[in-house]
A and B are shown apart, each in its own frame.
Chain A
Amino acid sequence: MPTVLEVKNLSKNYGQLAAAQEVSFSVSENEIFALIGPNGAGKSTTIRMIATILSPSAGTAEVLGYDVTKEANQVRELISYLPEEAGAYKTLTGKQYLEFMANLYSNDKKIITEYINRGAELAGLGERLKDKINTYSKGMTRKLLLARTLMIKPKLAILDEPTSGLDMINAMEIRKIIREFSRQGMAVLLSSHNMLEIEFLSDRVAIIDKGKIHEIGTSVELKAKYNAKNLEEVFVQATRQV
């Protein structure tokens, strides 16, 4: 499988604080790669560097060979990013929001229409898509944003806690969608606090704490290594050792 994302010794310092330290991993086509770790571990920091909005203090990350700092513009053509706890423009309707974003990813009318139609379908909001976003519930907004992220069929989807704040049914639906897109070739980098979700979704997992990656492997491998029944136990043991 060809490699889509290659991260090498990526670091980020906020003054004295080393939020990410020499983080290295790779994600290939069709693969779903998950970052797990306690609050403040450095998941979002790592993700934002790869998403080209934070500049690394050291190290590199490449998307299909393009460097995230030196060739950020090329990288931005290939990725799509869902920030944690994000909102949308409150004065727009859901439909207008999808239209706005679709127009930023292509100049071609036909492709734009295709994006919008796919987004509308993925959002699953029906008639509510015509309502202003400030009338949406948290879950509805999250679904709209995920639809926006995936509608352009990126080479690499970067999802920071994609299902946080969603009920079980909606979360399941979204996991299914992510999986489906991944089967069609999309590489996925995600973070989550939900171990069930990670076991269900991800092909490989990295356990990150205090800015450092402690383990990388499939959930089966990690469970075997720590002699644990589930990922939750692995998580507790791996982060306790630090």
Chain B
Amino acid sequence: MHKLLTLIKKEIREMVTWQVLVPALVMVGLFMFIGNVLGKEQAKAKAPQEVLVVNNDNSTTSRAMIEVLKKSNFKVNELGVAPLMVEGATAKERDKAIADATISQAKEKNISVAMIIPAGFGVGIDNFKPQKIETFTVMKNFNFQSSQTKAILDAAVASFNNFLSDQMISKKAGGGVPADYKNPIVRADTVIIGERQAAVSPGQVIGFVQGQATFVPIILFVIITLAATMIATAVATEKENKTLETLLTAPVDRRHIIIAKMAGASTVALIMAGVYILGFGYYLKGLGAGVGGGQLGEAAAQLGLVITPSGYALIGITLFLGILCALSMATVIGSFAQDAKGVQGLISPLMILLMIPYLLLLLVDISTASPMLKYLIYAIPFSYTFMAIQNVFLQNYQLLAFGIAYSFLFFTVFVLIAGKIFSSDKIITLKLNFGRKRKQVG
């Protein structure tokens, strides 16, 4: 026991270094940051949107339109046209002056959407003639925010259209509620997940889940790759420096050497998994600040799209086992390498094993995939790692349990293989050199 503890202490000391901790901490920071940014963006989208309106018509209709805009959560900046009326100017010159003033005002006040209601607009509408509105969009970039700008413009024009068509319908139809004529069909959406259901549109649910589940596999991929490479390198370095030879001649149980290596690796895996869960929690919290509960939050809770403590535990166990699988495989890989450099080439099969489920699960729906593809995905332990959060959301408890059992089995097999290698002289003599001839022990 004393010797085992000595070995474990040394492994932890060797493996839990700043090279491991710093990326892990950076990961938490990254999660927090992304969650925060997304949360803030969502909050921003909720805040009143600013538009610049130039009312060149000044009829009852156009004034009512601006009132409608104000009621629909827009902050309306009005630009007076009176100062622009130069005596003796032609209509064309006047229009140009108004447009120039609108643009410079929008830029000056940092408003991205502006529109001009032309003279005669109200009269035209009263006569049931479609009218033109000039719109101006100031684009500063082409990312998430620019699509926001487009949404503001669309929403403003839509609210105008809505108001005006309501007005026209009630004039022509003579009574009744205009909205009923426009949309005779009212949708009543229900989304079903497993045994649960909620009255919510499918689009909202997909948006909600994707917001939470996009970054997870990428970061998981990075963590597993990092941890596996680290362990394989640690074993290969011990071989290269011959510290392993010394260790193997000491009066210690060779199984203890493996157990200690695994304990060290597990500690790293635990730290990683813990950091990951912590980071993910912060990420969700950041997002949640924007969503702010509400109707969607309620629907999500009804659908079980909220991770409960037991859900977190299931995700944690699955992730931990996934990392352990990678670490045990990497230990075997490390014992095939002659030196730390050799690990780079040897670790590629493990990378491919990670890559397959990562890409497939992004692109393919397993429930409808061909049997071959399905078995391939289910045979790779990392599939369960990548699916963990989704499975908790979907209440696929059977698949979660199977994944945990399968990963554990996979891990055990590789630990036994590692044990076999370490307890024979294969640990010293095994070497695989790509490109060079393969030597085997007699």
Contact = CB atoms under 8 A, between A and B. Distances in A.
Q: Do A and B come from one complex?
A: yes
Interface of A: 13-15, 48, 51-55, 57, 73, 76-77, 79-92, 96, 100-101, 103-105, 107, 145, 148, 158
A76 B250 contact: yes
Interface in B384-423: none
B243 A53 contact: no
Contacts of B439: 14-15
Interface string B233-255: 00000001111011111111100
A107 B2 contact: yes
18 contacts: A14-B441, A48-B428, A53-B248, A53-B428, A54-B425, A57-B442, A76-B252, A79-B249, A84-B242, A86-B243, A92-B10, A92-B13, A92-B14, A96-B13, A101-B246, A104-B6, A104-B7, A105-B250
B370 interface: no
B252 A86 contact: no
B424 A87 contact: no
B180 to A, nearest CB: 76
B344 interface: no
Given A13-B442, A53-B245, A85-B242, A91 B428 contact: no
Interface of B: 2-3, 6-7, 10, 13-14, 17, 240-243, 245-253, 424-425, 428-429, 439-442
A192 to B, nearest CB: 18
A94 B252 CA distance: 21
A55 to B, nearest CB: 5
Contacts of B7: 104
- Lowest 7 A-B CB distances belong to which pairs? A87-B241, A86-B242, A103-B6, A76-B251, A13-B442, A81-B249, A83-B242
Contact of A88 (B2, B6, B241, B424): B241
B249 A103 contact: no
Contacts of A76: 249-252
B3 A104 contact: yes
Nearest to A12: B442
A76 to B, nearest CB: 4
Given A14-B441, A55-B425, A100 B10 contact: yes
Given A81-B246, A158-B249, 10 more contacts: A15-B441, A53-B425, A73-B253, A76-B252, A83-B242, A89-B241, A101-B250, A103-B2, A103-B6, A104-B7
A55 B424 contact: yes
Nearest to B1: A107
A101 B250 CA distance: 8
Contact of B14 (A77, A84, A91): A91
Contacts of A15: 439-442
Nearest to A145: B246
B3 A107 contact: yes
Contacts of A80: 249
Nearest to B10: A100
B428 A54 contact: yes
Nearest to B247: A104
A80 B245 CA distance: 11
Given A57-B442, A76-B250, A81 B2 contact: no
A36 to B, nearest CB: 21
Given A87-B243, A91-B13, A104 B250 contact: yes
Nearest to A13: B442
Contacts of A145: 246
Contacts of A85: 242
A13 B17 CA distance: 40
A148 B251 CA distance: 14
Contacts of B2: 103, 107
Contact of A73 (B251, B425, B429, B441): B251
A86 B442 CA distance: 25
Given A88-B243, A100-B6, A104-B6, A51 B249 contact: yes
A52 B54 CA distance: 92
A53 B249 contact: yes
Query: Max chain A CB contacts within 10 Å: which of B7, B246, B248?
Result: B246
B241 A86 contact: yes
Contact of B3 (A13, A92, A96, A103): A103
Contacts of B3: 103-104, 107
B371 to A, nearest CB: 43
Contacts of A86: 241-243, 245-246
A105 B242 contact: no
A148 B246 CA distance: 10
Contacts of A82: 246
Contacts of A90: 241
Contact of A91 (B17, B252, B440): B17
Nearest to A55: B425
A148 B439 CA distance: 33
Contacts of B248: 52-53
A54 B428 CA distance: 8
B245 A81 contact: yes
Contacts of B425: 53-55
B429 A52 contact: no
Contact of A104 (B243, B251, B424): B251
Contacts of A73: 251, 253
Nearest to B424: A55
Contacts of A55: 424-425
Contacts of A88: 241, 243
Contacts of A53: 245, 248-249, 425, 428
B429 A54 contact: yes
A51 B441 CA distance: 18
